[in-house]
Structure 1
Amino acid sequence: MFLHVFGLFIALILVSGCADLRATGDLGVVIEREQGSVQIINTSHPAMLSRIEGLGDLSHASVVFSRDQRYAYVFGRDGGLSKIDLLQDKLDIRIIQAGNSIGGAISQDGKLIAVSNYTPGGVKIFSADTLELLSEIPAVYGDHKTSKVVGLVDAPGQRFVCSLFDANEIWLIDAKNPRQPQVQKFKDIGKQPYDALLTPDGHFYAAGLFGEKGLALLDLWQPELGVNHILQDYGKDDEQTPVYKMPHLEGWTVAGDWLLVPAVGRHEVLVIDKRDWSLVKRIPVAGQPVFVMSRPDGRQVWVNFAFPDNQTVQVIDVKGFNVVKTLQPGKAVMHMEFTPRGEAVWLAVRDEDRVMIYDTETLQETAQLPAQKPSGIFFSNRANQLGL
């Protein structure tokens, strides 16, 4: 009798424990910028699971995930680097590693975290496990000047790639020995690279240029060939317009053989043929695009905009390269994120204090979640994608 009762007791404990089990591939985080907090959310059954506070200045925050998808690494604008345990709903480690940071990346093997910094300008490499500082690469150029570092991504071969905004350079960092990384520098790549993308196959790194027309393109399979300039003739005769918000470039702009990228300061999305890097089309859109994001299957591209048009989102059909839907989700749509297979997209609507979820086939809203001034949405499937 005792053994029978004891067995039932153990079974109840196991059942109770299983009820709390959480699948890491089903998780994500929502940045709450003004509160310095993040929500841990369920992406398949939309819900907030917990809130992690005390993360500092998240006014320009980005996130990468450990390869097992258990940990989220949050890069804060104040130089904070926070490691969050998504299964135990807690802040595992937090350090202040710089004075002003713009983002970071996780290495191909998942063991290293690299951070790009404005102040002091440079790249720091940390252990993903302990956040121990392993090495520091100051972004020094010219006569002992220091540059802001932007566009930092991970690349195959245990490498990182970044751009130096002030130095007009691209750096290819070999981190196989993370305590003594090797840096290959490409100079005079174009004026003021402001952000960059890595193609999803890890083959090409393209930096957008703020100080001149076009993009700087580096073939990572043949870096010895140096940097090429593409789209140099785009808009050279157009009237210059004020830039209300710097657009972002990431690998999500790639849709099959095409790159769809935001035009700096213009109401256009540019279509580039990835096979020869020629400009195929200029798609007129509702404002200055900020994020131009391809659905995972590459059929749709969703676009949000800078102020004063940031209440609008437009959907482009890649088949015809035309806008097929204009949505008005609310004031200040700051960021978007597709579910792993693209059946839904989540929108961070900052000034409405909510996250909105749309069906990407019907283009209808399906759910809302409350959030405190949300500005970024990141799902854990990013752990398995290069350059994000």
Structure 2
Amino acid sequence: MRGFWSRALRRPWLMAACLALPLAQGCAPVRGVGDMGVVIERASGSVEVVETTGQTVLSRVEGLGDLSHASLVYSRDGRFGFVFGRDGGLSKVDLLTGQLVGRVMQSGNSIGGAISQDGKLVAVANYQPGGVRVFDAETLRQVADIPAIGADGRSSKVVGIEDSTDGCFVFSLFDSDEIWVADLKVPAKPVVTKFTGIGSKPYDALISPDGRYYIAGLFGEDGFALLDLWNLDAGVKRVLPDYGRGEKRTAVYKMPHLEGWGMTEDLVFLPAMGRHEVLIVERAGWREVGRVPVVGQPVFVMAQPDGRRIWVNFAHPDNGHLQVIDVPSRKVVKSLQPGPAVMHMEFTPRGEHVWVSVRDGDRVEVYDTATFERISTLPATKPSGIFFTSRAHKIGL
């Protein structure tokens, strides 16, 4: 295909002929992918391919299986999206042609994945069977299998998988209370460094934007497990020991998503589990320095690209709300009600707009982040995750 396009560029008549053909015949439109993205339609096993400049839906791709907890990563050039389905399916979508170009059923139950720093490997975290399977990004051929057998000898669910630097993936073992770092410079021979006893039931994780810190949330006890990937010899440390539901156990209606933490230059804004608060943490030393009262239990706490404001959505029964926190004043400055079941938010690359999925309203709303005005509405079938191609150039997304 690469050779075809190089010939077409030298022959205007060939380029014109290709542009006149329907996409089904294999010709991709001539456009960049920098303003494109994908909206997950969780109930129908489909995704919408969208563009943010004109705020339109370009195509719809079907046949992706169970997308009830789907996530996505992008190829290095942003053209291909790798969709991780809950049913264990790994699907490869071509954004330019609007086609499903590859799909493998790699497990019985999976919970997300990551793409390597060089874009050559796609890793999937699995519940059943527990472990991580790694695939060639070009062909979807399996190149590595890392069973998650913990120190107790039992198989464990894998959660919180993140791409790191230097050819590594980092992930947590929910049932075994461990964090593993897998070096896949030689995919056929993974080198795994294991950290045990990191805290009870790590349920999700994130990696800092610079790729240095891996942070796992703990469901079985308060606090977080922190691993400095620049200094593995230091082991896993416990931070924010008072974070969680505390001695008085409260109902948690939806687990917070740690990848949705809002990180600014020196602060972290994170959801208080089971509480109607957003916690403010100082990145130097990981010390709590404040709290912001909000309307419900936060799920995603996301910073605009400029770090000036934090956008928050909520668990049921308050999931029709959206609130905006001003970072300098540390106060809620705007409350919105986009519609029933606000599931996810995604900022355009420079942050002038935010796209909001309204699952039970079957639509995506687009807001101006400066004025908070709604500027567009796009139809979508039970939308959940929204993923723009700018993620292709960021660690951990």
Place the TM-score, normalised by the shorter chain, in its bin.
over 0.9
TM-score (norm 1): 0.95
Q: Which residue of 1 aligns with 2:113?
A: 104
Which string of whole-angstrom CA distances, capped at 9 and with x for unpartnered residues, describes residues 300-332 of structure 1?
111111110000011011112211111100000
**Among 37, 41, 44, which residue is 1:35 paired with?**
44
CA distance in 2, matches of 1:63, 1:42: 16
Q: Which residue of 1 aligns with 2:155?
A: 146
**Among 351, 355, 358, which residue is 2:364 paired with?**
355
Contact 1:199 1:251 in 2 (8 A): no
User: Counterparts in 2 of 1:1-388, with a 5 A limit?
Assistant: 13=17, 20-234=29-243, 239-250=248-259, 253-388=262-397
Which string of whole-angstrom CA distances, capped at 9 and with x for unpartnered residues, describes residues 151-203 of structure 1?
10000111111111111111111110111111101111111111111110111
Contact 1:169 1:187 in 2 (8 A): yes
Q: Which residue of 2 aligns with 1:4?
A: none
**Aligned-pair CA distance for 1:377:** 0.4
Q: Which residue of 2 aligns with 1:3?
A: none
Contact 1:304 1:333 in 2 (8 A): yes
Query: What is the DSSP-based 3-state SS (H/G/I as helix, E as strand, rest coil) of the residue aligned with 2:122?
Result: strand
Pick closer, same or farther for the CA change 1:142–1:221 going to 2, 3 Å.
Answer: closer
Contact 1:357 1:366 in 2 (8 A): yes
CA distance in 1, matches of 2:112, 2:178: 18
CA distance in 2, matches of 1:235, 1:250: 17
Which string of whole-angstrom CA distances, capped at 9 and with x for unpartnered residues, describes residues 22-44 of structure 1?
21111100000000000000111
Contact 2:245 2:273 in 1 (8 A): no
Pick closer, same or farther for the CA change 1:276–1:20 going to 2, 3 Å.
Answer: same
Which string of whole-angstrom CA distances, capped at 9 and with x for unpartnered residues, describes residues 1-53 of structure 1?
xxxxxx99779658868994221111100000000000000111100001000
CA distance in 2, matches of 1:93, 1:85: 9
Pick closer, same or farther for the CA change 1:117–1:236 going to 2, 3 Å.
Answer: closer
CA distance in 2, matches of 1:15, 1:41: 20
Contact 1:200 1:251 in 2 (8 A): no
CA distance in 2, matches of 1:8, 1:197: 47
CA distance in 2, matches of 1:8, 1:297: 42
Contact 1:251 1:387 in 2 (8 A): no
Structure 1 unaligned blocks of 5 or more: 1-6
Q: In the alignment, residue 190 of structure 1 is paired with which amino acid?
A: G
Query: What is the DSSP-based 3-state SS (H/G/I as helix, E as strand, rest coil) of the residue aligned with 2:316?
Result: coil
Pick closer, same or farther for the CA change 1:19–1:271 going to 2, 3 Å.
Answer: same
Q: In the alignment, residue 180 of structure 1 is paired with which amino acid?
A: K
CA distance in 2, matches of 1:70, 1:220: 30
CA distance in 2, matches of 1:110, 1:10: 31
**Aligned-pair CA distance for 1:146:** 1.1
Q: In the alignment, residue 228 of structure 1 is paired with which amino acid?
A: K
**Aligned-pair CA distance for 1:261:** 1.1
Q: In the alignment, residue 258 of structure 2 is paired with which amino acid?
A: L
TM-score (norm 2): 0.93
Structure 2 unaligned blocks of 5 or more: 1-10, 22-26
CA distance in 1, matches of 2:196, 2:172: 10
Number of residue pairs the alignment of both structures matches = 382
**Aligned-pair CA distance for 1:254:** 1.1
Cα RMSD over matched residues?
A: 1.9
**Aligned-pair CA distance for 1:143:** 4.0
CA distance in 2, matches of 1:139, 1:77: 18
**Aligned-pair CA distance for 1:258:** 0.9
Moved more, 143-152 or 95-104: 143-152
Query: What is the DSSP-based 3-state SS (H/G/I as helix, E as strand, rest coil) of the residue aligned with 1:250?
Result: helix
Runs of 4+ in 1 over 4 A off after TM superposition: 7-19, 235-238
Contact 2:29 2:97 in 1 (8 A): no
Contact 2:151 2:196 in 1 (8 A): no
Query: Identity over aligned residues, as a percent?
Result: 59
Q: In the alignment, residue 342 of structure 2 is paired with which amino acid?
A: V
Which string of whole-angstrom CA distances, capped at 9 and with x for unpartnered residues, describes residues 349-378 of structure 1?
000000000000001101000000001100
Pick closer, same or farther for the CA change 1:112–1:15 going to 2, 3 Å.
Answer: closer
CA distance in 2, matches of 1:235, 1:199: 20
CA distance in 2, matches of 1:172, 1:294: 27
Query: What is the DSSP-based 3-state SS (H/G/I as helix, E as strand, rest coil) of the residue aligned with 1:24?
Result: coil
Pick closer, same or farther for the CA change 1:9–1:60 going to 2, 3 Å.
Answer: closer
Which string of whole-angstrom CA distances, capped at 9 and with x for unpartnered residues, describes residues 267-299 of structure 1?
111111001110011211111111111111111
Pick closer, same or farther for the CA change 1:287–1:167 going to 2, 3 Å.
Answer: same
Query: What is the DSSP-based 3-state SS (H/G/I as helix, E as strand, rest coil) of the residue aligned with 1:293?
Result: strand
